[in-house]
Structure 1
């Protein structure tokens, strides 16, 4: 196993308690390094569009925002797209990021799907780029428009996986450090083995532990971590 698989190196990471616009503290690991390489490859993409796909909480939206900052691109929610509003919203932009693009596959989103088709064409005509984020790869989207399906089928689609143990441990360590919370390795190991495998869950758990430790004027221990995870389980039942 190489060092990269064991020790994530730093790039920008989307953390709930602060903006995710820079590239100074993102943790790169095997589950996301291909997607990061594609973001770094811009503007030398082989097609007008690129699709990032993966499970919720794997970092898609963050990479969308990293690229948008670099490309000076607006970030739009897919469900907000409308054909009649594209020209005004787009202005002179040469790049656009669209989050949750696969939600347009439902019948009640047909108008937004039409807008995505026109947005793709506008970016291609301008020589610009479109970055889409979704849970599924475009081949699994059930769009009614054959012309939109064919365009997206020609776009590179890059998957992100759920964070592995090494990445989760590194994320938790960084989050606790950002809050100046001293935490022993046994707490990190306990959380990593039991928490949901998403960056969003890591942020929520660390914030909850911070509040509880402050309220009870005690340090973060495995026992405290157990209480927070139990409470999280009760909320999701």
Structure 2
């Protein structure tokens, strides 16, 4: 059978509170954000790539009306009107003096206005490699909430959501099969779902356990 061309179609992730699956791996971080009253009005939300930081930040932004910006874009934007703010991937600007200075000014601007600031990062600020001493001291003194590695229930929910974001329908049996075989990380789940989506498009087949076995180089099973 001739294989179909696979097009890299846009993925539209669902980022509402109703789409955020609560488990022991993330419930403390969610509670910290919901509680508010953070020391000096700021919080660092930490977790590995794909851990759900952006989703949880979007939930908080939706509840508070916060503006969301990527740290890499901060030098292109003027200081906003004081109000709740999310800065995504704050650790990625380390070593960029202009960006570090811009976040430092934003931090002080919001602090003076008593406006809450939520920043996301992969690790704590001591590991960022910041070169601006004033920003370094302020980030290292910021309270943190951490997303922990996923348990089975959370990893299954993440896989299901990733398939849904790509408008793919799969069986519960396939989800459980994947959870037992992929690395216990959100990055592994994202890579597996992307690979299965591409293979299904290319081969003109639904996403089944048999296809997953072929794509992920495991022993074949009956279709789920």
Q: Match of 1:183?
A: 171
TM-score, structure 1 as length reference: 0.75
Q: Hey, what does 2:78 align to over in structure 1?
A: 86
Residue 31 (1) aligns with residue 44 (2):
no
- Once residues 213 and 96 of structure 1 are traced to their aligned partners in structure 2, the CA distance between those partners, rounded to angstroms, is 40
Tell me whether 19-28 or 217-226 shows the greater mean CA deviation: 217-226
Q: 1:218 to 1:105 in 2, by over 3 A?
A: closer
Please list the CA deviations of residues 50-93 of structure 1 after superposition, one character each: whole Å capped at 9, or x if unmatched. 001111111111112222222222211112222x8433xx1x24
SS of 2:69 mapped into structure 1: strand
The correspondence for 1:55, drawn from 48, 64, 70, is 48
| 1:112 equivalenced with 2:99 (yes/no) | yes
Q: In the alignment, is the contact (CA less than 8 A) between 2:46 and 2:144 conserved in 1?
A: yes
Which residue does 1:235 correspond to in 2?
Answer: none
Q: Deviations over 1:182-214 (max 9, x none)?
A: 5252x2233112224444653554465456557
Partner of 1:95: 84
Query: How far apart are the structure 1 equivalents of 2:73 and 2:205?
Result: 45
May I ask how many residue pairs the two structures share in their alignment? Answer: 208
2:125 to 138, 153, 163: 138
Q: Which has the higher contact order (CA 8 A, sep 6+)?
A: 2
Query: Any stretches of 5+ residues in structure 1 without a counterpart?
Result: 1-15, 231-237
Structure 1 match to 2:154: 167
